[in-house]
């Protein structure tokens, strides 16, 4: 049995029946990481000794019959989640040797169920990017074709799942950073409603946009991970006090009633955007027909302010980033320049050496937009546009249950292709940004393969706190097109 090919659900069943051990499962993933990650570069930190210790502990718990859903399951964490005693770098030189003294709430939840935390994955520095090329350490490569990017900023997590280095992974999504890399790597990525999952212990990029979510092999695994990760957290002031449903009920609903009675909206503005690859259009049309074939009613809807989404996002996110990253000044923690003669010079040199070019670019944009005389013209106006975008979605969901779009305008591009053109890179997230601006949930489900052998994903979005509709529709679509797009052998 190739243990590295198991989904979370399959591994859970075998562990519970004691047909495999967590140590065996963890070793299978560690062996694969050792063999292939020198090419893929999905991980910043892997501690085999610690992972096997956690696996041994999990096996003892399973032997006593005290196991929970994720006991013994190897999971990877994006290196933006604080992990007690383990380096948490945010893929930045400024935090290269930072070791947190506490766990993020999401990490605590996995530890409470004795999951195996197999490693910390690579990312765009401070989650700013769409390709994982902005990591201060190295670029991650797409397991489907190592000349291409895996997407970003959670590219390491998506590549790790696609390369079968772990059973599932945790990512964060500020403007598409779970869904876009999931699409590029042929896996499932779920961005929950803003406030559904605690952000406590997640190093902040843009506080009103960031959300933590799962990246998995299939929709059922994503539902199970969200069951564990979600819930109100008093340590996070933005955590919503909403009742937590069992998200796997979405799968039960599909099995009982299919997708009959569900209406999906297609925004007319999305189909007229420039720069959409013809193969993405073909994939999307095929996905539409597939959903119609399994009982979904398709209708055209309107999101009138779509053309303003990218501009508004790239004011709001950098403004919040400039405030959040001000704390990295060389005084309290992280790298400090030791050659400066005075405090102000130390600040300047520390930030210039510690932050990469993309992070510096966004800090400068944000600081300028928040400065005296410009706040109302930039941040104030962008916030007003955001309110209009939220109203667009509210009206749209009066007509439909879910909204459909491609995840990305193109399949994964080549490494280095867009690095010198930030504006073109920003447009990689044109379909995903509005979901974060509105705070609604979205999911990426594998939907096809391009002529060059690269995966493409279908995005579904739903009302606030209605992830169950996404699970139901995503699972149904997955069953119709084939549960898993199998990777070529590495």
Q: Give me the catalytic one of 153, 322, 428, 462.
A: 153
**Does residue 197 form part of some domain?**
yes
Number of structural domains in the chain: 1
Q: What's the CATH number where 10 sits?
A: 3.90.1300.10
Q: Which domain holds residue 98?
A: 3-252
* pLDDT band at residue 426 using 50, 70 and 90 as cut-offs: confident
Q: Which residues neighbour 27 within 8 Å (Cβ) at sequence distance 6 or greater? A: 52, 55
Residue 484 clears pLDDT 60, i.e. is over it:
no
Is the pTM for the entire model greater than 0.85?
yes
* pLDDT band at residue 419 using 50, 70 and 90 as cut-offs: confident
**Does residue 368 form part of some domain?**
no
Cα separations in angstroms, 312 against 135, 360, 366, 377, 438: 25, 19, 12, 12, 12
Q: Give me the catalytic one of 22, 41, 78, 239.
A: 78
Residue 258 confidence (pLDDT): 97
| Active site annotation includes 18 | no
Angle at 256 between CA 253 and CA 260, to 5 degrees: 75
Residue 427 clears pLDDT 70, i.e. is over it:
yes
Residue 333 confidence (pLDDT): 78
How far apart are the C-alpha atoms of 366 and 361, rounded to whole Å?
Answer: 9
* pLDDT band at residue 65 using 50, 70 and 90 as cut-offs: very high
**Does residue 414 form part of some domain?**
no
How far apart are the C-alpha atoms of 219 and 254, rounded to whole Å?
Answer: 12
For residue range 304-342, what is the model confidence (pLDDT) as tens digits?
Answer: 999 999 999 999 999 999 999 999 988 887 888 888 888
Question: Average pLDDT over the chain, rounded to whole?
Answer: 96
Residue 353 clears pLDDT 70, i.e. is over it:
yes
Residue 483 confidence (pLDDT): 62
* pLDDT band at residue 23 using 50, 70 and 90 as cut-offs: very high
**Does residue 345 form part of some domain?**
no
How far apart are the C-alpha atoms of 413 and 405, rounded to whole Å?
Answer: 19
| Active site annotation includes 153 | yes
**Does residue 267 form part of some domain?**
no
- Provide mean pLDDT across the span 135-160: 98
**Does residue 346 form part of some domain?**
no
- Provide mean pLDDT across the span 408-414: 97
Window from 267-271, 358-362, 424-428 with minimum mean pLDDT: 424-428
Q: Give me the catalytic one of 131, 154, 177, 462.
A: 177
- Provide mean pLDDT across the span 51-78: 98
**Does residue 138 form part of some domain?**
yes
**Does residue 135 form part of some domain?**
yes
- Provide mean pLDDT across the span 482-486: 68
- Provide mean pLDDT across the span 464-475: 98
């Amino acid at each position: 049995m190739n243990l590295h090919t198991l989904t979370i659900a399959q591994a859970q069943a075998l562990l519970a029946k004691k047909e495999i051990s967590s140590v065996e499962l963890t070793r299978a993933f560690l062996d694969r990481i050792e063999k292939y990650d020198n090419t893929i570069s999905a991980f910043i930190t892997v501690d085999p000794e610690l992972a096997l210790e956690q696996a041994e502990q999990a096996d003892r718990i399973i032997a006593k019959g005290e196991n929970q859903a994720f006991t013994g399951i190897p999971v990877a964490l994006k290196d933006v989640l604080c992990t007690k005693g383990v380096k948490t770098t945010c893929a930045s030189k400024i935090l290269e040797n930072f070791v947190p003294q506490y766990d993020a709430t999401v990490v605590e939840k996995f530890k409470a169920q004795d999951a195996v935390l197999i490693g910390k994955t690579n990312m765009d520095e401070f989650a700013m990017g769409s390709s994982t090329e902005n990591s201060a350490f190295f670029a991650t490569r797409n397991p489907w074709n190592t000349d291409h990017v895996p997407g970003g900023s959670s590219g390491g997590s998506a590549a790790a799942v696609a390369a079968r280095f772990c059973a599932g992974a945790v990512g964060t999504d500020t403007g598409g950073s779970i869904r876009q890399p999931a699409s590029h790597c042929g896996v499932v990525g779920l961005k929950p409603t803003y406030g559904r999952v605690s952000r406590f212990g997640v190093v902040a990029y843009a506080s009103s946009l960031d959300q933590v979510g799962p990246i998995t092999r299939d929709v059922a695994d994503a539902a199970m991970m969200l069951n564990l990760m979600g819930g109100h957290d008093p340590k996070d002031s933005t955590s919503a006090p909403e009742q937590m449903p069992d998200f796997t009920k979405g799968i039960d609903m599909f099995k009982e009633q299919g997708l009959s009675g569900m209406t999906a909206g297609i925004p007319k503005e999305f189909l007229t955007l420039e720069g959409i690859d013809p193969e993405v259009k073909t994939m999307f049309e095929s996905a539409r027909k597939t959903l119609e074939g399994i009982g979904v009613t398709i209708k055209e809807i309107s999101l009138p302010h779509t053309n303003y989404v990218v501009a508004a996002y790239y004011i709001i996110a950098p403004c919040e980033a400039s405030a959040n990253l001000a704390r990295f000044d060389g005084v309290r923690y992280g790298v400090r320049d030791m050659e400066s003669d005075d405090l102000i010079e130390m600040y300047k040199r520390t930030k210039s050496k510690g932050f990469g070019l993309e992070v510096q670019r966004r800090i400068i944009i944000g600081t300028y937009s928040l400065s005296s005389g410009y706040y109302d013209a930039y941040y104030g106006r962008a916030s007003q546009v955001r309110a209009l975008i939220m109203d667009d979605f509210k009206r749209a969901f009066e007509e439909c249950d879910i909204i459909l779009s491609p995840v990305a305008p193109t399949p994964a591009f080549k490494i280095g292709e867009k690095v010198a053109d930030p504006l073109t890179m920003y447009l990689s997230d044109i379909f995903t940004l509005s979901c974060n601006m509105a705070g609604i949930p979205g999911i990426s489900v594998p939907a096809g393969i391009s002529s060059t052998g690269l995966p493409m994903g279908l995005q579904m979005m739903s009302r606030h706190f209605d992830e169950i509709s996404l699970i139901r529709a995503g699972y149904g679509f997955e069953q119709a097109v084939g549960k898993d797009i199998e990777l070529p052998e590495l």
